[in-house]
A and B are shown apart, each in its own frame.
Chain A
Amino acid sequence: MLNPATAQSVIDHALSLGADFAELFVEKHLTSSLNTISEKVKSVDSGIDFGIGLRIVFGGKVLYGYTNQTDAEGLMRIASNLAARDKRDRMHEGVAFDFSVMTDRHPSKIVLSKDAAIDSKVEYLLKADAVARAVSDSITQTRGYCNQREQAIEIFNSEGLHTSDTRNYIRAGLTSIASDGTEQATGGWNDGGLLGWELNGSMDADFTGEEASRQALVNLSAKPCPSGRMPVVIGNGFGGVIFHEACGHLLETTSVAKKASVFHDQMGEMIASSVVNAVDDGLMNNEWGSINIDDEGMPTQRTQLIKDGKLTNFLVDRIGSEKTGYPRSGSGRRQSYRFAPASRMRNTFIEAGDSDMDEMIASIDKGIYASHMGGGSVQPGTGEFNFAVTEGYYVENGKIQYPVKAATLISTGPAVLKEISMVGKDFALACGMCGSVSGAIPTTVGQPALKVDDILVGGNA
């Protein structure tokens, strides 16, 4: 995408200004988006993002510029402007590029540059819609989407790195809206991965439609949620957002290096209950949060974050490594050329345990079973987090009683990790988008169902 001679001249120019490190991130990104409302195709959009990000490092200082232009002069001008205040004698000689071919662990077939497959996507979404609306007369509408992207990246740096990768992302889902004439409620289902529209082969439109409507109808009948501190069983799959928010963000050197994480000085210490084992794995074939190389050009890894409750690793990018001394973990990620990379999660999950779901529910006198979770957020400095329950049930005397709505779980990362008393066997992963300093990136969350003994449930009963 960028002539290596141009890249070399820009990086040499940055080094001549006294930079310790210089890097070019070149991106061409095809996008396609399809949206339906019930049986109608509402919109079909497509486009190309193209740009170059230039990162120059002086000591611990990161200077970053980006543009849509590809000419060497323009890029060198950005370098000069960025380095105006730090300019000094050359500290390092440039290293000739040595192109490295990465191993593609995530082969894709029906990719955007070859076939947008709009007809097939429309067929899938309209079938899911028909199934969803056939579930009940109370389902008044569905909203379907299929978003596909093809992100080609090329990275050059002053250490001689030259590498490239192409990432194919696909995600499709349906939301059902249920109404009883006065109240409205929603339910949804989606799937996705780091692959092309061959995802269609593993998705079932019938299941998608039925599941979205089932959840909408449950929520329509839900009662206000009791509030207060109580035990909660959090369902598998997207329930893993609890770990993502409560702990994962606090293990990124983005916050660790600033000492803005409550875990910054707890390496090797017990930070969770001994039943907790947690991993961030970029290698899983065709999973939504996987990559081949990170956005700094390093092959990605599987990183054991917590072993038997003990903190074993952080997620480390280049700058985080320089600041903390921990080795890089192939976790430097960014949304696009518009962002400097930062340490970020990939596929992050709590590993399976040995408890049964029935056993977990039976152990609760008064509490909540949060079978499906929505998104959440965390305050890294304090570890305070919140996340929303999108399908939940009140549990009393060891039995599920009735569905509840508008529930939120709040706590702090350190507190909740120590309150996990039971971890189930039904491990599952789910797709999500994670927003942070380097933009919104695809991440997978996951866990088996697990029981938290004491957490604050916010409800309006």
Chain B
Amino acid sequence: MSQPQTINSDLTQASEQVFNRVKNAGAEADLIIIAAESLSLKASDGELEEQTVSNTQSFGVRVIKDDHIGIAYSEASDEESLQWMVDQALQNATFSDPEPHERILDSQQSLVSDDSVFFPEDPATVDQQIDMVLELEQGLLKKPLIKNVPYNGVSDIANSRYLFSSAGLSAASRQRMVYAYAYALAEDGEKNAMEGTGQMNRLTHQLNVAELVESVASASLDLLDGAPIPSKHYDVIFDRECQIELFGVFSMVLSGKAAKEGINPWREKLGGVVADRRLNLTDMPLLMDGFGYALFDDEGTATANTPMIVEGKLNTMMHNSVTADHFGLTTTGHASRGARSTMGVGSHQLVIDTGTASAAELYAGEYLEITSMAGLHSGANAISGDFSLGVSGFLCRDGKRVQPVRGVTVAGNFYKMLNQIQCIGDQSFWNWQRSSLMPSIRFADLAISGE
């Protein structure tokens, strides 16, 4: 790429030290180094309430010796700590069962992401960012019925990820992100509501606080009069945030690792129909507008667009070299590993193709627009596909919100729901964290429990 970074010589030396010890033990290894700098700001009652700064790095080694895998990590980078880390990984490997498919890839590539795009210099000062969080809180407090903004913030984060291997791989990527968010508590007599959202971008000046104030205020105020609706089956449209969260929770069905381990419910369905034929889902790691951009995965494999579901049929799963080897395939560039974790798979940026439904078709008749979900971490089971969640939103008719809705649940089975698609909108939207790009999808006949 243009604008190659130079990898800090301290990190290169650390990696050499690690690999010398690994090679002396007759093993092979890779080393992930995650470094982060961050600034977080929160406001309360017109004053800066909290300011947090950090500067950290973590080293994580994966050793492979005689088909046995061992993982260890250290947040200390002195020579003694790195030696301890390697020795721990070697010792851990003696306890694990052999994994003949897991190898350090024979790659001597040097991969470096483009700093000019993903790690731009931000001319904003800390004082300007403090002013921004104060403006966000005060802007909301000026709105009628907004009594409090208990959760708000502006954060500026610079992440660096380095990957080295004993085979000679050297890869580096850096990314800067700045985001602002707020949750506002609206009160009107006995009624109250608290909702929120955020914005994320590369540079501080790209955030639009005035727009965020309006979004957060209306999210809370519009739900103040929310009430349950009669229990029955409704057509449902999840808003962009909720829909992407829901797909994220159930993305295990795309995991080659879960298939290898026998728990992926779609493990026997490769090439088969898993969803409505109008559904096309692709992982697009090189889409530069998103914050899931990845030039390489955590084995150092260069990434590429991967069609996962094509016209409703399961085209492929996400694979790293281990799961790919297990199934006699090649890696799809979805290796995922943190400094502390074992090798897994993970998506980068899931994108659903736009459909053909115009707004008039998508929003025709009665449907429930869900704008807030609670309990995703506990009320959704990726193995069975069952979910039951507390939700808020709006009962709509012909595109108009006719009643705010709270105190209801939506329940169903996500895998069956993918075959209950009524239509797919003809426009796509990023979620606020810019991790995924999807059009609105109208799902038919979901069980809503209310009054």
Residues on A lying within 8 angstroms of B by beta carbon are 31, 34-35, 37, 40-51, 60-69, 78, 81-82, 84-85, 118-119, 122, 140-141, 177, 183-186, 219, 224-225, 227-229, 255, 258-260, 262, 338, 340, 374-377, 379-382, 384-388, 405-408, 410, 456-461
Contacts and interface: CB of A to CB of B under 8 A. Distances in A.
B374 A68 contact: no
Contacts of A185: 383-384
Contacts of B421: none
Contacts of A374: 378-379
B109 interface: no
A304 to B, nearest CB: 26
A457 B449 contact: yes
Nearest to B406: A384
Contacts of B148: 258-260, 381
Contact of B412 (A37, A141, A407, A460): A460
Given A46-B88, A228-B449, 16 more contacts: A44-B92, A44-B96, A46-B89, A61-B49, A62-B51, A66-B54, A66-B56, A69-B55, A184-B384, A219-B384, A225-B388, A228-B231, A374-B378, A384-B390, A388-B379, A408-B375
Contacts of A51: 56, 75
Nearest to A412: B407
B447 A227 contact: yes
A459 B342 contact: no
A400 B447 CA distance: 24
Interface of B: 44, 47-57, 60, 69-77, 81, 84-85, 88-89, 92-93, 95-97, 126-127, 130, 147-148, 150-151, 183, 185, 192-194, 228, 231, 261-263, 265, 340-342, 374-375, 377-379, 381, 383-384, 386-390, 406-413, 447, 449-451
Contacts of B383: 177, 184-186
9 contacts: A47-B72, A51-B56, A85-B48, A185-B384, A260-B194, A384-B374, A384-B390, A385-B374, A458-B388
A44 B384 contact: no
Contacts of A62: 49-51
Contacts of B76: 48, 50, 68
Contacts of B412: 460
Contacts of A338: 54, 56
A380 B192 contact: no
Nearest to A81: B53
A376 B411 contact: no
B233 to A, nearest CB: 9
A375 B75 contact: no
A257 B433 CA distance: 29
A65 B54 contact: yes
A403 B150 CA distance: 41
B97 A40 contact: yes
Best-buried of A43, A64, A377 by chain B (most CB within 10 Å): A43
Contacts of B378: 374-377, 386-388
A227 B265 contact: no
A258 B44 contact: yes
A457 B390 CA distance: 10
Given A260-B150, A374-B379, A47 B88 contact: yes
A63 B51 contact: yes
Nearest to B81: A48
Given A45-B92, A177-B263, A183-B384, A78 B53 contact: yes
B375 A61 contact: no
A84 B129 CA distance: 14
Contacts of B88: 46-47
A164 B296 CA distance: 43
Best-buried of A48, A66, A122, A229 by chain B (most CB within 10 Å): A48
B379 A64 contact: no
A257 B385 CA distance: 40
A54 to B, nearest CB: 9
Contacts of B96: 41-44
B150 A65 contact: no
Contacts of A47: 60, 72-75, 85, 88, 340
Best-buried of B374, B381, B407, B449 by chain A (most CB within 10 Å): B449
Best-buried of B44, B52, B341, B412 by chain A (most CB within 10 Å): B52
A45 B342 contact: yes
A60 B74 contact: no
Nearest to A39: B97
Contacts of A385: 374, 390
Contacts of A388: 375, 378-379, 388
A21 to B, nearest CB: 14
B231 A377 contact: no
Nearest to A226: B449
A406 B375 CA distance: 12
B449 A45 contact: no
Given A78-B53, A85-B127, A61 B411 contact: no
Contacts of B261: 37, 141
Best-buried of A44, A118, A376, A461 by chain B (most CB within 10 Å): A44
Nearest to B192: A382
B77 A386 contact: no
A83 to B, nearest CB: 9
Given A41-B96, A380-B150, A406 B126 contact: no
A460 B385 CA distance: 13
A148 to B, nearest CB: 13
Contact of B71 (A37, A44, A81): A44
Given A40-B97, A47-B74, A388-B378, A458 B50 contact: no
